[in-house]
Structure formats: structure tokens, C-alpha cells
Amino acid sequence: MKIAVAKGDGIGPEIMDAVIKIFDANQVKLEYEYVEMGKWVFDKGFSNGMTPEAQRTIEDLGILFKGPMETPKGKGVKSINVTARKTWNTYANKRVFQTLHGVDTVFSKAGIPIDITIVRENIEDTYGGVEHLLTQDVALSRRFITRPGSLQVIKYAFDMAKKKKAKRITCGHKANIMKLTDGLFLDCFYEVAKEYPELKSDDKIVDDLAMKMVVRPDEFDVVVLTNLQGDIISDLCAGLVGGLGFAPSANIGDHIAIFEAVHGTAPDIAGKNIANPTALLLSGLALLRHVGLMENAAIIENALLYTLEQGIHTGDFGNRATSSANTTQFADAIIGNFGKQPQHGAKELLPNHPVPHTMFKLEHNLMMETKETQQERIVGVDMFIASDEQPEVIAQKCLHHGGIKFKLISISNRGTQVWPTGSKYTNLVNQYNLRFEGLNNQSLNQLDIIGLYVSLCADFKICSIELLNMWGDKRGYSLAQGQ
């Protein structure tokens, strides 16, 4: 079986060489096609951080094993890591965090075992990177949460939880504030939960989740979250087990999967042969299991666990009173411990059942869309304007713009209502939202909206607009605070 390999930047080549050395010593039946990705590829003029040949190879092989990569700063290019995940729709980011004996943490010293799997939605949310300056003082980021995208990752999380015989699956969210976006994600979670009655399903508001994970991490098993919240919580979990040096990462899609270390490139120690390869090795073990090389994965993981139990460590962790191993020595120690069983967490030796990658040649982009069950209608519009005038002045100017179809319902600033009611103690910025709805609850069309836009242009600079939609009796827009 052939997979694509990108060594990465900084310490990437060193730790990748160490992992491949361990795989070869265990006679892992993989071939490696090395591809060009990373900062040095950006520097050669490829704006997505990979050569066209690399993209074709990865799409042909379906598996990418990659080291840490750096995105050039200040050049306006997007992260190569995020670009890769989004380009190939690896919608589920799976990160497993387990107590590793020999890696001392507050919890290991207290005898509290940790075994948490974070499943993070990997495509949507603020990671779309769609941002605009509405005025010189006001920046806007669009947050995309979709029903098809949410269902994809949540179904993966439930399937995975069932296979690993999880005792609990939890949805982390902020639906108490972001009622439409996080609310949609939470609705999808409980929709899917009905198909898995054998699993205990619950949800936690993400700030409460963060606190409880730090206090009692042993109470959690599988946690599924939106992209940004999942990014933050997964790094929190890395801290619980010793840091990002022990945090594997698998990015799973229907056609392509990416396995990577999520820590940085550590340019300050690059080339010194002292980097810790554990996170990349754990990600590689996830890759082996993904392609059915279960026996190889178990032998190597048991050897890693045994090595850690023996107190062998690189310079970034372990007993400071004992000398640290360099990258090569650490890899050699693991190889020397093949066949040995750790005292804690030994993995069962299951036979290899290689799963050949199914080659897909897609002719067009897949359109994910759920069928509408209720009629959609436009009931109004939010007009975002630039202005440094007071709310009452703006409201008076709007009176003659509504005509016979619109009425001004409210004016808000930074999400807080400032007209028709409000407080003089609310600080304002130079950007307002004017909410118009149809007179007498009449339905509107896009030409009506354009007519209002043209009229308002006589008095205001309009920065952005959003339609106010209804699906049946369900409102498709939020109310301003205080409205």
C-alpha cells in the first residue's frame, strides 16, 4: 500500500525520519511517495503551500502523513494545515488523549486516568476565513455552521464512539448565546443521538465543559464540538496529558485522510536531533489502524509505552535528573523494545487486515443539501451601515425610506439594541444594524430589498445586508440583545 508523505518544516524532517525508521524496523507494509508541501513551497510561489503534483498524488493515494508545517507570516496566505483539511473535506478531526505512564502530569500523580477522544468539526465555523472591514473600526467574520456539515461529523463521532464501546458522548457548544449556529449543531447532535440509543448522550456549554474537564477529566469519553471550540478544547486536553508533544491527530474524510502532528515546527531546535517524535508516532499509529495494520500498530505502541515506563525521554519531558535521549536514540529505544509489554495500557495484538484505499475519481463537486420541509419566505432585511450619528438621528432619516412596504423595527450597535429603546450608557461604534420588516407582516422579494437598498444609499454607506427569512413559523435570524 502506498501513501503520500510530507516531512514538513522545522523539526518535521527529523521526527518523520524517526517514525519511518520505526515503521521500517517493524516491517510495516507501506510504501512512501514523498510530496512537496510546506513553507518552502510557499516561498517558491505556490499560494496554497503545495505543488500541483503533490495535490494530484495525495488525491490519487487517498492518505497523507505529514509533519508540522509553517505558514509564512504577513503574506496574506492561508494556513497550509487548514487549507489541506478543507480542500479534501476531511470533516472529522479526531484527537485521542490518554494518560501515558512515564509522562508525569498533575493527574497521573493523583492517580486519575485520562482517556478522552475529541472529535472536532474540521471544515466550517470561523475557519472559513471570510472576513471584512465594515468601517475602519469594525471587522466582521462570518461563521458558517451547516446542517449537512454538522451531520457528517456528528455521525462519524457516534459511529466511532460505538466501535470503541464508549460509555458517553458529549456535545460541547455555546447554543445559549449563538442560538442559530451552535443551536443548529446541537439540534443535529440530538437528531443523530436517536439512532444510537445504547450510547449515553448529553451536552455541555463549552465554558462549563472546559472547567469540568480540568477538574474531572476522567468523567469524559468522547466529545464532539464545532471547529473553533474543538480547536481550543483539544489543546486543553493536550495539556492534561503532558502537552502537544503527546497529541496525535487524524483528519478523516470520505475519500482522503490526513494524519499529522499538531504541534509547531519548533525552528529553534530544528536540525539538532533533539525533538520529541511521540505525537507524530501516535498519529502514525492511527494511520496504521486506519488502513488495517492492527498488529504493527499494537507492537509499536506497546514498545512506545514500555519505553516511556522505563523512564526514557527526550529533553522536553521526563525526569530531569536522568539524561535525555535525542530523537534518534529515542526511536532506537522503541525499536529495541518491540515485543515487550507495558505494565499499563497494553494493546491487544490483533491480526493485520489491510484495507486497500478505494480509488475515487470524482467528476464534479458533491452538493450536500437537505430537503426543505417548510416554505421559505423573506420577511425583512438587516442593513448594516457606517455612521457616527446618534441612533435617534438615524431613525429619523430612515422614516422616509421604508415607503409602503417596510417599517423600521430596531437599530442595534454591536448586537445591542439602541433604538427604539436603549441606554445612554451603551458605548457605540461607527457601524449600526438597521432592521426593517414588511409592513403588516407581508412577504417580500429580493427586488423589494434592492429598492430599499437604493433608497437608503441617499443617506448612508451600506456595508452589508442580510435577508430575514422564515421557514414556516421558524425565524431564521437572531434578535438583538434587548430587543
Residue 76 sits at φ, ψ, to 5 deg, of: 75, 10
Q: Grid coordinates standing for 116?
A: 478522552
Q: 287 and 28 in contact (C-beta within 8 Å)?
A: no
CA distance 468 to 478: 9
Q: What is the pLDDT of residue 357?
A: 66
- Side-chain half-sphere of 285: how many Cα atoms within 13 Å? 23
CA distance 213 to 217: 4
Closest to 295 (Cα-Cα) out of 376, 347, 352: 352
Quote the pTM value: 0.91
Which residue segments constitute the domains of the chain, with CATH numbers given?
Answer: 1-103+242-370 (3.40.718.10), 107-237 (3.40.718.10), 376-475 (3.30.70.1570)
DSSP type of residue 83: H
CA distance 30 to 293: 10
Q: 438 and 406 in contact (C-beta within 8 Å)?
A: yes
CA distance 163 to 152: 17
If one counts every other C-beta atom within 10 angstroms of the C-beta of residue 436, the result is 25
CA distance 286 to 462: 50
CA distance 360 to 344: 41
Tens digits of pLDDT across the chain (483 residues): 999 999 999 999 999 999 999 999 999 999 999 999 988 888 888 888 899 999 999 999 999 999 999 887 766 677 888 889 988 999 999 999 999 998 989 999 999 999 999 999 999 999 888 999 999 999 999 999 999 999 999 999 999 999 999 999 999 999 999 999 999 999 999 999 999 999 999 999 999 999 999 999 999 999 999 999 999 999 999 999 999 999 999 999 999 999 998 899 999 999 999 999 999 999 999 999 999 999 999 999 999 999 999 999 999 998 888 999 999 999 999 999 999 999 998 899 999 998 876 666 778 888 888 887 788 999 999 999 999 999 999 999 998 898 889 999 999 999 999 999 999 999 999 999 999 999 988 889 999 999 999 999 999 999 999 999 999 989 999 987 777
Q: 453 and 383 in contact (C-beta within 8 Å)?
A: yes
Instruction: Give the DSSP H/E element, type plus range, for residue 230.
Output: helix 227-241
Q: 426 and 400 in contact (C-beta within 8 Å)?
A: no
CA distance 25 to 339: 12
Q: What is the pLDDT of residue 443?
A: 87
Closest to 173 (Cα-Cα) out of 188, 162, 158, 183: 183
Closest to 432 (Cα-Cα) out of 361, 382, 384: 384
Q: Grid coordinates standing for 145?
A: 455552521
Amino acid at 49: G
Closest to 431 (Cα-Cα) out of 394, 475, 380: 394
Q: What is the pLDDT of residue 360?
A: 64
CA distance 430 to 134: 9
Residue 190 sits at φ, ψ, to 5 deg, of: -75, -25
Closest to 331 (Cα-Cα) out of 281, 283, 268: 281
SS3 state of residue 305: helix
62's CB contacts (< 8 A; 6+ apart) are 255, 256, 257, 357, 358, 359, 360
Q: Is the dihedral of CA 238, 244, 246, 248 positive or negative?
A: positive
Q: Is the dihedral of CA 389, 393, 395, 399 positive or negative?
A: negative
Torsion, Cα 436 442 448 452, to 10 degrees, reads -30
Q: 296 and 26 in contact (C-beta within 8 Å)?
A: yes
